[in-house]
Amino acid sequence: MRLDKAARIAKGAEAIIYQGTYLQNPVIIKQRLPKTYRHPEIDHRIRLHRLRSEAKVMSIARKIGASVPSLIGINIQESYLLIEEIDGKLLYETMDLLPIQRLKPIFSSLGSQIGLLHCNDIIHGDLTVFNVIIQLEDKPIIIDFGLGRISNEIESKADDILTFYSTLKAIQPASKILFSTFLDGYLSVYPEGKNTYEQMKKIQSRARYIAREDRLE
Ligand SMILES: Nc1ncnc2c1ncn2[C@@H]1O[C@H](COP(=O)(O)OP(=O)(O)O)[C@@H](O)[C@H]1O
Ligand SMILES: [Mg+2]
């Protein structure tokens, strides 16, 4: 694989992200790091498993027509994925820059994208405002399937949308309006998603109950 690695752009707990070019196309190299506290053999096996799982979920999502970057390659030896680079800004940055009227269609479109994933039993696993890139013409692209999996469990789907709502609420005062726009999009593609939403509310009220129990006064 002829690859030109350029600048490192991010470093998370699990992976380092580089920008590069491959056959003259801009690409992202997502490399999983060794964990020195694990036995090297076991560490290699775990990283390989995660790498393959992320590649698989991303490819299935792409196959069903969801807006996700295309997977260009996988390097088992050096434990990285080669992913199409999306030109745009992360959703959380966009939220600071755009007025609510322009954000609404973005949230509706993102909701329908998540509806499409859930309708096909694809769980994102880390659906935050940091894992969506807004491309030119306000098109949301979903990234980071590192915790993704295939499951038909309502609980897992509810976790996805609750995670999304929680990160949204933490940074945006108009989160309720935007979340309900997101939900409209979600339900338009995935009518059964009303069960996901009911489950999300159940998890939320359980969390509230625990929070009340935890109060010290
Ligand atoms: N396909 C991509 N196009 C453009 N930027 C990307 C792409 N994939 C990842 N990034 C950038 O790298 C960051 C981390 O990537 P991500 O897949 O979310 O890994 P992590 O598991 O470390 O969160 C993203 O927040 C984004 O800024
Ligand atoms: Mg991420």
14 — pLDDT class (breaks 50, 70, 90) = confident
- Residue from 4, 87, 126, 138 carrying the catalytic annotation: 126
pLDDT, one tens digit per residue, over 67-94 is 999 999 999 989 999 999 999 999 999 9
> What is the CA(140)–ligand 1 centre distance, in A?
14
Q: Which of 144, 145, 167 to mutate to test the pocket of ligand 1 (most atoms within 8 A of CB)?
A: 144
Mutate to test the pocket of ligand 1, among 25, 30, 70 (most ligand atoms within 8 A of CB): 30
Residue 96 is a catalytic residue? no
For range 98-108, the mean pLDDT: 96
pLDDT digits (tens, 9 = 90+) for 138-173: 999 999 999 999 999 999 999 999 999 999 999 988
> How does pLDDT run across 21-50, given as a tens digit for each residue?
998 899 999 999 888 888 988 988 999 999
Q: Which two tokens stand for residue 43?
A: 């560490």
Give the list of residues 6+ apart from residue 18 with CB closer than 8 angstroms, or none: 5, 6, 7, 8, 9, 28, 29, 31
Q: What is the pLDDT of residue 48?
A: 92
Atom 16 (ligand 1) nearest CA: 144
Q: Tell me the C-alpha distance between 34 and 63, whole Å.
A: 30
Say what the pLDDT of residue 10 is. Answer: 75
* Nearest CA among 23, 9, 138, 29 for reference residue 81: 29
pLDDT, residue 35, reads 86
Mean pLDDT of the chain: 92
CB-count exposure of residue 197 (10 Å: 0-12, 13-18, 19+): middle
Provide residues with CB under 6 Å of ligand 1. 9-10, 12, 14-15, 17, 28, 30, 69, 83-86, 90, 130-131, 133, 143-144, 146
Complete domains list, the chain, with CATH: 4-84 (3.30.200.20), 88-214 (1.10.510.10)
Which pLDDT score, from 0 to 100, does residue 193 have?
98
Residue 72 C-alpha to ligand 1 middle, in angstroms?
15
From the CB of residue 150, how many other CB atoms can be counted at a distance below 10 Å? Answer: 13
Q: Quick one: pLDDT band at residue 209, thresholds 50, 70, 90?
A: confident
Give me the pLDDT at residue 215, please.
64
Q: How far is the CA of 194 from the centre of ligand 1 (A)?
A: 30
- Mutation test of ligand 1: which of 27, 133, 139 has the most ligand atoms closer than 8 Å to its C-beta? 133
pTM over 0.85: yes
